Chains A and B, each alone.
Chain A
Amino acid sequence: KNQVEQSPQSLIILEGKNCTLQCNYTVSPFSNLRWYKQDTGRGPVSLTIMTFSENTKSNGRYTATLDADTKQSSLHITASQLSDSASYICVVRGSNTGKLIFGQGTTLQVKP
């Protein structure tokens, strides 16, 4: 069964600190992977997309990495801000169905 697993489930860090969120997937064949940010009570918004040939990509203070061999991706947030408090969701397109498979997300709380 195609799955996307994220860790940790939740995370609390102090403002200004860095953190790394993990995403492991078993979806195959793999096309691409996205990280989303979801603020409370809102729909998720895309942060970055990783394709099969890409190893790392940055979007401001967010840096995503991808290891297609081990089927692992990470999202690194540097110099965290209070506004980074949200759920971060990893999503992979299903093998041949076109269905998007979402991880359960990591809830990040940044404290002052």
Chain B
Amino acid sequence: SQTIHQWPATLVQPVGSPLSLECTVEGTSNPNLYWYRQAAGRGLQLLFYSVGIGQISSEVPQNLSASRPQDRQFILSSKKLLLSDSGFYLCAWSFGFGDTEAFFGQGTRLTVV
């Protein structure tokens, strides 16, 4: 069976500090990978998605970047955090085509202070 791991669960970082959130998937090959952000009381906003190693698509201009160094590893990064980067970050994976089911990690609550 497939599993997705996302860490850390919560993070408090000062403005201007770097960020690295990691997500790994087990039990499947060549998944589509996604990073979403959810501001308080808002819906899911797609930040990045990847259909393969080194293939990253950015949905919105922002202070964040993503990388996929291995098939089942997806990393969300920032060199200098802004207050507006605070939010709930979710990693997800899906099969490449066909079914629309996405499997989500437990999320990271990021607070930039």
Classify the secondary structure of A's interface with B: strand
Tell whether, in the assembled complex, residue B43 and residue A98 are in contact, meaning their CB atoms are under 8 Å apart.
no
The answer to whether A99 touches B32, judged by C-beta atoms less than 8 angstroms apart, is: yes
Query: A102 touches which one: B46, B57, B109 (CB < 8 A)?
Result: B46
Measured CB to CB, the nearest residue on chain B to A32 is B100
In this complex, the interface size class of chain B, counting residues with CB under 8 Å from chain A, is: 20 to 34
CB neighbors of B among A52-103 (8 A): 87, 89, 91-93, 97-103
The interface bits of chain A over 8-37 (1 if a CB of B lies within 8 angstroms of the residue's CB, else 0) are: 000000000000000000000001111000
Residue in A34, A97, A107 whose CB lies within 8 Å of B100? A34
Which of the residues B34, B88, B101 comes within 8 Å of A34, measured between beta carbons? Answer: B101
Select B92's contact among A33, A43, A49, A93, beta carbons within 8 Å: A43
Write the nearest CB–CB distance from A76 to chain B, whole angstroms: 20
With A43-B106, A89-B44, A105-B43 known as contacts, the answer to whether A98 contacts B100 (CB < 8 A) is no
Indicate if the CB atoms of B98 and A31 lie closer than 8 Å.
yes
Known: A100-B34, A104-B42. A43 touches B107 (CB 8 A): yes
Q: Interface size (A, Cβ < 8 Å)? A: 27
Q: Least Cβ distance of A22 to chain B in Å?
A: 14
Asked whether A98 and B96 contact (CB < 8 A) given A41-B109, A43-B105, the answer is yes
Query: Given A41-B88, A41-B107, A100-B94: A49 and B101 within 8 A (CB)?
Result: yes
Shortest 9 CB-CB distances between A and B: which pairs?
Answer: A43-B104, A104-B43, A105-B43, A93-B100, A34-B100, A102-B44, A98-B96, A32-B100, A98-B97
Residues of B within 8 A of A (CB): 32, 34, 36, 41-44, 46, 49, 51, 57, 88, 90, 92, 94, 96-102, 104-107, 109
Provide a sorted-by-A list of 19 A–B residue pairs whose CB atoms are within 8 angstroms.
A32-B98, A32-B100, A34-B100, A41-B109, A42-B107, A43-B92, A87-B43, A91-B100, A97-B51, A98-B32, A98-B94, A98-B96, A99-B32, A99-B49, A100-B34, A104-B42, A104-B43, A105-B43, A105-B44
